[in-house]
Every structure is written in C-alpha cells, then in structure tokens.
C-alpha cells in the first residue's frame, strides 16, 4: 500500500477524461466524499502519466475510447511509475474482449460510464485497499463477460471493432496495419470477418451500421480524420 494512503488516511486520485464537463462534475463528486483526495485532473492520458509520476496517486481513473491501443499503451506506462498506481477504467462499451484485454494488463476495475458514483467510489476504495491486486471489479454482468469465450454469431471482436473504426476514419489497409502493428492482409481478413458478421459488403455499409447501432460515434470517426489518405486508393 502506498505511503501517502497510510500517512494521511486519504486515497490520492488522479482523474483523466477528455470531456471537460463530465470530468469537472466527477471531480466535484469525488471531492465531496470523505477519504478521497483529488491530486490532479487532466483531459489527456499522457498528462495523467505525468501527474502520476509527480503526485504518486493511489488510484488513476481513466476513460477508454476506441481505438484501444492508446489506452493500452498508457496502462503499460502507468505500470512503470514507481510506485505504480492502481487503475480504474471507465468505458462506454461492455465488449467482453475489451474487458479481458484490460484485465490482463492489471487494471483494478472496469466500469461502464452508466455506473453510479457509489459504484465508482466503491471501486476506488477496493483498488486502493487491495495491496496485491486480487480484488478486480468488473461493472458488467458476468454472463456478458463469459461471452468472450464464444465469439460466434454477429458479435465483433475487440480487434474487429478497432479496425472498423480506423477504416471508418478513412485509413487504408496499409495505414491501419502500420498503426496497430499488423500486416495489411491481416487487416483485410479482420474486415472481411466483420462484414460477414454485420451482413454488409463494404466499408461504407459497415460504417453506417456501426453508427446506427452506436458501436462507434461520429466524434470518434471525425477526431482523427486528418490521418486519412485523401489520395489513397479505395480498399476492401
């Protein structure tokens, strides 16, 4: 257990979320609970790592957005902070494959953004007072998590969802491959599998269906559009 927790009796927290109103509102709620000290807040996960190094918090609360590679990288960097803080992730999606990937990276809690403040406070306290990391909290139904063992049917895998978002942003197969460390042929195979599950035959149709089903949002599609290749050839 970290020294600051035992010395002050308060759980020191760093909060990272790019939605200013949500973050400030959550910061105010956290401050209203006894035994929790907000050491810092930021809209950027890389800045959160800097705050963690500066303040040595007991817990870092981070949002997760697609694509997930950035969040995974941030988690690995947080594990290198000395002493490493516990991490509570807050996400918009309950895809069991995502949950399992993050649990493997050692997060202490995975909550949906629909969780109550009481659930979040409970997760923070459980993480802070669990020195060996045995008590992992997953704020989604266990039956949903169990679905990760059987990805048949029309449910996209975590990797398929990630590639679909990048494709929706206009990146070519080669650009997607370079960004997430796969071959272009592997990217194409993942897209083919996603199309089959979604019962569509093109990127445009897949993007429209993903947006209509709220698997991805317009904001997620447009926030990185400058990386698309306007002169690139149309791809599968």
Shared domain for 122 and 178, answered yes or no, is no
What is the pLDDT at residue 1?
A: 44
What is the pLDDT at residue 3?
A: 47
Q: What is the pLDDT of residues 49-91, one digit of tens each?
A: 999 999 999 999 988 776 677 788 888 888 889 888 999 988 8
Shared domain for 92 and 197, answered yes or no, is no
For 138, the token pair is 């997953």
Shared domain for 168 and 66, answered yes or no, is no
Domain with 199 in it: 158-227
**Mean pLDDT to the nearest integer, 8-16:** 85
DSSP letter at 33 equals S
Q: Does residue 152 sit within a domain?
A: no
> Three-class SS of residue 61?
strand
Q: Does residue 153 sit within a domain?
A: no
Q: Which sign, positive or negative, has the C-alpha torsion 16, 118, 87, 146? A: negative
What CATH number is associated with residue 166?
1.10.10.10
């Amino acid at each position: 257990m970290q020294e600051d927790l035992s010395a002050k009796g308060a759980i020191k927290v760093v909060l990272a979320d790019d939605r200013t109103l949500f973050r400030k509102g959550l910061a105010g709620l956290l401050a209203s609970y006894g035994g929790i000290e907000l050491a810092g807040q930021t809209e950027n996960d890389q800045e959160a790592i800097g705050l963690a190094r500066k303040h040595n918090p007991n817990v870092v609360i981070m949002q997760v957005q697609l694509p997930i590679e950035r969040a995974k990288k941030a988690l690995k960097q947080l594990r290198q902070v000395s002493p490493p803080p516990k991490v509570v992730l807050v996400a918009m999606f309950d895809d069991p494959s995502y949950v399992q990937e993050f649990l493997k990276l050692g997060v202490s809690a995975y909550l949906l953004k629909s969780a109550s403040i009481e659930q979040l406070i409970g997760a923070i306290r459980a993480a802070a007072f669990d020195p060996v990391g045995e008590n992992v909290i997953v704020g989604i139904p266990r039956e949903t998590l169990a679905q990760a063992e059987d990805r048949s049917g029309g449910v996209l895998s975590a990797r398929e969802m990630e590639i679909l978002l990048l494709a929706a942003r206009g990146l070519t197969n080669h650009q997607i491959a370079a960004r997430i460390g796969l071959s272009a042929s592997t990217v194409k195979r993942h897209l083919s599998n996603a199309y089959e599950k979604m019962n569509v035959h093109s990127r445009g149709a897949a993007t429209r269906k993903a947006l209509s089903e709220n698997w991805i949002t317009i904001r997620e599609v447009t926030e990185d559009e400058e990386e698309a290749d306007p002169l690139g050839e149309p791809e599968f």
